[in-house]
A and B are shown apart, each in its own frame.
Chain A
Amino acid sequence: MQQDSSVSKYSGKKHVKFSDEALALAHKIMKRYPEGKQKSAILPILHIAQAEFEGWLSVETMDYVATLLKIQSIEVYEVASFYSMFNLKPVGKCVIEVCRTGPCWLMGAEDLVRFIEKKLGIKEGQTTPDGMFTLKTVECLASCGTAPMMQIGETYHENLTFEKCGAVLDEYKNKGEQVSHWRKERIKHHSDIHR
């Protein structure tokens, strides 16, 4: 039987595709590595893929990245499942990543997580029913001097108290639909770079 190349042979779903802007960026990044070693671009390109497809990597997305890099799908799966920044399940518009390690923990990160859980009515690892917030705890984000802290998108929110943290979350909530999917800025910033 003839295989339809526009359909994933694993999931049977139609392949996804990058926007022209993202595709151009992906090709630019692949050129940064020695000839024939385009697989090296996998991490930056998976970041772009997350920005393009609602903050997470579906099997279809990973299959697409494999075709871009001319590698086997399994090579993408094994990488995507190794690194903690890649979400393999759908996430909210706004992913809250609270640092839980060492100095942040000493300065009250645990209490901060409980506070956010209470405020949003979800537990760590869950997404609010309206699809707005996902709460994650992550390991040290190299901001120990301004502990406790959390990252939302590309922004670090530091020296947090309950009040400050609550205000930040309210601000994101008020922005509502305008909150772009996390790390979408990545593509925008890159467009200024010529190489």
Chain B
Amino acid sequence: MGKQLLINDLDKDGIATLAGYKTHGGYTALEKALKMKPEEVVEEVKKSGLRGRGGAGFPTGMKWSFIAKPPGVPRYLVCNADESEPGTFKDRYLMQRKPHILVEGMIISSFALGANTSYIYIRGEMMFQYHILEKAIQEAYDAGLLGKNILGSGYDLDLYVHCGAGAYICGEETGLIESLEGKRGNPRIKPPFPAIKGAWGCPTVVNNVETLAAVVPIINMTGDEYAKIGIGKSTGTKLISASGHINKPGVYEIELGVPVEEFIYSDKYCGGIRNGKKLKAVVAGGSSVPILPTELILKTAKGEPRLMSYESLSDGGFVTGTMMGSGGFIAMDEDTSIVKNLWNFTRFYHHESCGQCSPCREGTGWMEKILHKFIEGHAETKDIDLLWDIQGKIEGKTICPLGEAAAWPVAAAIRHFRPEFEEYVKKGRSMIDVKHYYRINNLQPA
């Protein structure tokens, strides 16, 4: 346990530059891949069991094999660097510290897909990382790693960075494609899937930054070896963005299968809850996934230790489990108001709904208003049921998964923390608000 493949050498000198990256084994995977056939590269990725690291966890090799290959039509690879899921900051970190692993991963993946033009769609806010990527790409062009006839293989690739302008919805792959085409980021109805009709009507694959970076170690070590890392169908390593009330927030690369308890309390990772407080709840995979109380995040309903893996985190379905998601691990201590936190998340989804589908456009707004009633102290018991009703009428009734992303946190909060909603109804506020009031005004509770 404890293997690292992506951020193991960040302390090495100049790892962000081409020279430094090459000194520490960079671009060997590209050399190897260019000597293989494209379908052999796809096969290696299939064997590795790599699953999309952006949130959905769909097998990458399978996604690649869906791409249509009509003759004479260009294909595109687009890297999804529109990292906007609250609680997730691993891609920004990776691109800033080791941009060439993404560039190398993209060249290999574009080669495997037969794409001759590829784009990195980065958030407009991340200008700092945008310039780092532009510089890395320029270095790669100058060294003959991009452009015409890469390393004498006869393969051509142009790689460009495209910046967004502030819209969570553009992280959804068809929303991202619309945005790349210069439109509002309204997700498309599927089918057709992007692999058949994507950017500018051509076959397109959209992959997350971490997914494309992971292709590099897979080619270096072979898919079979990569599949030995991790646990069960959760192969390899995963970057976890840890935030909230923990002692050591930051990005950690874990071998899939580390126990959640170890991840939270070990000094190797989060280092426990800060200020000696108790853990109250965890959102394990970015704000969209169901929140779990301490007892259910540390152990499954069956009493087995819960592990950081796709299967273990979703053990018990949504009744007692959650999801791996994007790996945005948000820990909340005992002084956190779950209702207020939920209002904050719901405001986010209301703000970010693109407005295409009524259930999401209207529903997220209603939920935000009702939750605001709770924290203002005007809510009634029937409002809890109303919230439950609305979330159920958003889930599964929208073009893209933003509907689910907005509904799941509400459902889970009511499911696991109903008494806290009831306390707001009864007293107009919760004990936590009282504590917070005393704390910020430097008063001692009577």
Query: DSSP majority for the B interface?
Result: mixed
- Size range of the chain B interface in the assembly: 35 or more
Q: Report B-chain residues with C-beta under 8 Å of the C-beta of A10.
A: none
> B392: CB under 8 A from chain A?
no
A residues near B348, Cβ cutoff 8 Å: 101-102, 139-140
With contact pairs A43-B124, A85-B125, A154-B127 given, residues A101 and B86 touching in the complex (Cβ less than 8 Å)? yes
Decide: B166 and A83 in contact? CB cutoff 8 A: yes
- Chain B residues with Cβ below 8 Å from A47 are 124, 163, 165
Cα A183 to Cα B127 with chains together (Å): 8
Q: Which residues of B contact A43 (CB under 8 A)?
A: 124, 162-165, 179, 182
Contacts of A143 in B (CB 8 A): 89, 92
Give the residues from 113 to 153 in chain B that come closer than 8 angstroms, CB to CB, to chain A: 117, 123-128, 131, 134-135, 138, 141
Q: Which residues of chain A are within 8 angstroms of B160 by Cβ–Cβ distance?
A: 32, 195
Shortest distance from the beta carbon of B272 to any chain A beta carbon, whole Å? 16
Which residue on chain A has the smallest CB distance to residue B76? A34
Q: Which of A1-9, A125-133, A145-153, A171-179 is the interface stretch?
A: A145-153
Q: Is the CB of B134 within 8 A of A102?
A: no
Tell me if A40 is interfacial: C-beta within 8 Å of chain B.
yes
A40 partner residues in chain B, CB cutoff 8 A: 162, 180-182
Task: Give every chain A residue within 8 A of B158 (Cβ-Cβ).
Answer: 195
Interface status of A190 (Cβ within 8 A of chain B): yes
Considering only residues 6-22 of chain A, those with a C-beta below 8 Å from chain B are: none
Judged by a CB distance under 8 angstroms, whether A106 is at the interface is yes
Q: How many angstroms from the CA of A151 to the CA of B168 in the assembled complex?
A: 17
Is the Cβ of B84 less than 8 Å from the Cβ of A139?
yes
Q: Are B344 and A101 in contact (CB under 8 A)?
A: yes
Binding stretch for chain A, among B47-55, B239-247, B397-405? B239-247
A67 at the binding interface (Cβ < 8 Å) = no
Q: Give 1 or 0 for each of B275-307: 1 = CB within 8 Å of chain A CB.
A: 000000001000100000000000000000000
Q: Which B residues from 165 to 182 make CB contacts under 8 A with A?
A: 165-168, 179-182
Contact present for A82 and B167 (CB under 8 Å): yes
Q: Considering the chains assembled together, what is the distance between the CA atoms of A75 and B345 in angstroms?
A: 31
The winner among A46, A139, A155, A189 for most chain B CB atoms within 10 A is A139
The residues in B between 280 and 338 inclusive whose CB is less than 8 angstroms from any CB of A are: 283, 287, 328, 330, 332, 336
Docked Cα-Cα span, A7 to B168, in Å, equals: 36
Q: Is the CB of A140 within 8 A of B84?
A: yes
Q: How far is the CB of A49 from chain B (nearest CB, A)?
A: 11
Q: Assess the A37–B128 pair: CB atoms within 8 A.
A: no
Inter-chain contacts of A78 with B (CB < 8 A): 183-184
B180/A105 in contact, CB under 8 A? no
* Tally of chain A residues near chain B (CB < 8 A): 51
Q: Least Cβ distance of A26 to chain B in Å?
A: 13
Asked if A118 CB lies within 8 Å of chain B CBs, one says no
What's the least CB distance linking B361 to chain A, in Å? 13
- Is A103's CB under 8 angstroms from B165's CB? no
What 1/0 flags go to A81-104 for Cβ under 8 Å of B? 011111000000000000011110
- Do B243 and A103 have beta carbons less than 8 Å apart? yes
A contact residues around B440 at 8 Å (CB): 111
Residue contact B127 to A186, C-beta cutoff 8 Å? yes
B417 to chain A, nearest CB (A): 15
CB pair A83 B167 closer than 8 Å = yes
Collect the chain B residues with CB atoms within 8 Å of residue A190's CB: 134
Q: Is A193 a contact partner of B138 (Cβ separation < 8 A)?
A: yes
Does any Cβ of A come within 8 Å of B83's Cβ?
yes
When C-beta atoms are compared, the residue in chain A nearest to B126 turns out to be A142
Interface centre among A43, A44, A147 (most CB of B within 10 A): A43
A156 (CB) vs chain B CBs: closest residue = B128
B138, B165, B181, B287: the one contacting A85 at CB < 8 Å is B165
A146 contacts which of B163, B249, B354 (Cβ < 8 Å)?
B249
Chain B residues within 8 Å of A39, by CB: 181-183
Q: What B residues does A155 contact at CB under 8 A?
A: 128
Residue numbers in A under 8 Å from B180 (CB-CB): 40
State whether the Cβ of B185 lies closer than 8 Å to any Cβ in chain A.
Answer: yes
Pull 16 A–B residue pairs with CB atoms less than 8 Å apart, ordered by A.
A32-B162, A43-B179, A83-B167, A86-B166, A101-B287, A105-B344, A106-B330, A138-B125, A139-B351, A140-B84, A140-B348, A142-B123, A142-B125, A145-B251, A183-B127, A193-B135
List the 8 closest A-B pairs by CB distance, nearest first. A102-B86, A83-B165, A84-B166, A85-B166, A144-B243, A39-B182, A103-B243, A42-B182
